[in-house]
Amino acid sequence: MYSQFWPKGGLPGLLHHYTETLTTFEYTSAAARQPHSILFVGGLGDGLATTSYMADVVRALQKTEWSLFSLNLTSSYQSWGLGHLDRDTDEIAQCIRYIKDYKTEKYGNGKIVLMGHSTGSQCVMHYLYRPNPHTSVPAFDPWLEHVKRLPLDGAIMQAPVSDREAILWVLKMGIGGKTGSECREVYEKVEALAKEAIKHDKKYDTILPISLTSQIGYPGNTPLSARRFLSLVSPDSPQSPGEDDLFSSDLSDEQLGKTFGMIKQHGLLKHKLMVLYSGADQSVPDWVDKEKLLARWKNAANHNGEDQVWDQESAIIPNASHALSNDDQAEPRKFLVEKVLGYLQKV
């Protein structure tokens, strides 16, 4: 179906191969001079240009020296249940290196900013705080080839939400006609299956029954592995969070110091980190104090005022849904675009 947010007839651009099998689409025109780049990464289930508010950002950039790139990852669309953040950020690093080389050859030295929506924000954080290159050697992904990540001129996270708190919200409120207690009964079966699979087979990933995962909020057309499920729901949190559990409100200040607090040390961000949290995000439980949460992230990133990693224009977008895709989201989308343009001008 045609989306009301994308202009009829589409927007012009170029399709690039940044690896043999993975592509990135650059929104630009032949007449435009755009030496600077923003690479946009969507969330779980997203792929090439699937986050609708990108259209607003692209149109706002048409008269600037910035072009926006959207990309495909191995984990795009229905493959996120088999992916992991090391692979995602290695592929993002490959794309950034391609964009950097392409723009440098065409225009000379330009700026590059990485922006993530939802789980794309986890990719942004993972890119910035983990060892460079990654050091993990996962038995379930022996083909992983770690890539040296280039420093970014800027980074933006939009809707950086907790998948663990989202599932806890389902277990409290219910979903799809099931009560919270009915969902919890199914969830406990899935968690037990996942833990058993991980315990007995570390070399291969095991696909969980879709007949069960689809009953607790996960799509009925998406395979979800035991390993990725446990990473997302992170049953040992907050004491020992899984790889995907970066944004939960109950994580300790000590744990935030290992993520937000490591950005400065790794030196992969030249400017500051902007965070744009959706004020009416459907996946955020009502017990989460958004203002307090952002203040804790800011303190962790800035080491309680010793550094200036956090961008002061970071904000909660009033009345914004998770992906700003509802019919009533014109004002939130305008707010987001103004924030992004202001940030790019400072970069």
Does residue 306 sit in helix, strand or coil? coil
179-189 pLDDT, tens digit each: 999 999 999 99
pLDDT at 72 over 90: yes
Which amino acid, one-letter code, is at 157?
M
Where residue 72 falls (left for φ over 0; alpha for ψ -120 to 50; beta otherwise) is: beta
Residue 7: pLDDT band (50, 70, 90) is: confident
Phi, psi torsion values for 69, nearest 5 degrees? -110, 135
> 10 Å Cβ neighbour count for 129?
21
Share of the chain above pLDDT 90, in %: 90
**What single letter denotes the amino acid at residue 67?**
S
Residue 23 token pair: 């592509």
pLDDT of residue 201: 77
Task: Give the pLDDT confidence score for residue 71 in this predicted structure.
Answer: 98
Angle between the N-to-C axes of helices 180-200 and 163-173, in degrees from 0 to 180, rounded to the nearest 10: 140
- State residue 210's pLDDT score: 97
Write out pLDDT tens, residues 133-144.
999 989 899 989
- pLDDT for residue 220 is more than 70: yes
- Residues 121-161 pLDDT 10s: 999 999 999 999 999 989 899 989 899 999 999 999 999 99
pLDDT at 2: 42
Query: Would you say 76 and 1 are in contact if contact means Cβ atoms under 8 Å apart?
Result: no
Q: Which residues pair with 178 in a beta bridge?
A: 175
Q: What are 78-135's pLDDT values in tens digits?
A: 999 999 999 999 999 999 999 999 999 999 999 999 999 999 999 999 999 999 999 9
7-11, 187-191, 212-216, 285-289: lowest mean pLDDT where? 7-11
pLDDT score of 4: 60
The pLDDT value recorded for residue 3 is 54
HSE at residue 162, side-chain half, CA atoms within 13 A, is 28
Kindly report, residue by residue over 254-312, the tens digit of the pLDDT: 999 999 999 999 999 999 999 999 999 999 999 999 999 999 999 999 999 989 999 99
pLDDT of 1 higher than 70? no
Q: How far is CA 109 from the centre of its chain?
A: 27
Task: Write down the pTM of the prediction.
Answer: 0.96
Q: Which domains does the chain have, with CATH numbers?
A: 13-162+247-346 (3.40.50.1820), 165-233 (no CATH)
